[in-house]
Amino acid sequence: MYGIVYGDFLAHLIARTDELLRARPEPVAAGVDVSNRKAGTGRRAVVLTTGPGGGTGNTLRTSYVTVDVIADDEGDAVDLINLVLALLTSRGPGGMVGSGPITHTEVNGGPNPDPAADDSYKQTAQLEVQHRGRNL
């Protein structure tokens, strides 16, 4: 049996989420910063971070990702988290599932309001992500 290598699926999630949001016509999707940390410059941000837990079966690994959406308006935060979760769980050419190593995604918790440290509004959710590794 050979070892299995898992790539940086979070980097793929960040890049693909940014790409999907840029292609959307909704005003709430315009000018959104997508990263693994909140930059201080943007009005709206999507922050994706890995959480503890998960498991591995054959070449598939299950990981948990926290999805935080930050906006300067509560309505924008709610609209943006709903759009982001829809994109993250979508399939096909315009979606996340089936792109790169991502084989399955589902919302595991949320979305819920989360107190923000500044004047902004924040929504948070947890995503379960299955991603494929490769044999050495």
Q: Do residues 129 and 13 lie in contact, with contact meaning Cβ atoms separated by under 8 Å?
A: yes
What tens digit of pLDDT does each residue of 61-90 get?
899 999 999 998 999 999 999 999 999 999
pLDDT at 40: 67
pLDDT at 42: 66
CATH superfamily of 4-135: Phage tail protein-like (3.30.2000.10)
111 falls in which pLDDT band (50, 70, 90)? Answer: very high
For the chain, the structural domain boundaries read 4-135
Q: Which burial class, exposed, middle or buried, applies to 80 when counting CB atoms under 10 A from its CB (0-12, 13-18, 19+)? A: buried
DSSP state at residue 100: T
DSSP structure string for 54-86: EEEETTEEEEEEEEEEEESSHHHHHHHHHHHHH
What tens digit of pLDDT does each residue of 7-65 get?
889 999 999 999 999 999 999 999 999 999 987 666 899 999 998 777 777 788 899 99
β-pairing, 121-132 vs 102-113, is: antiparallel
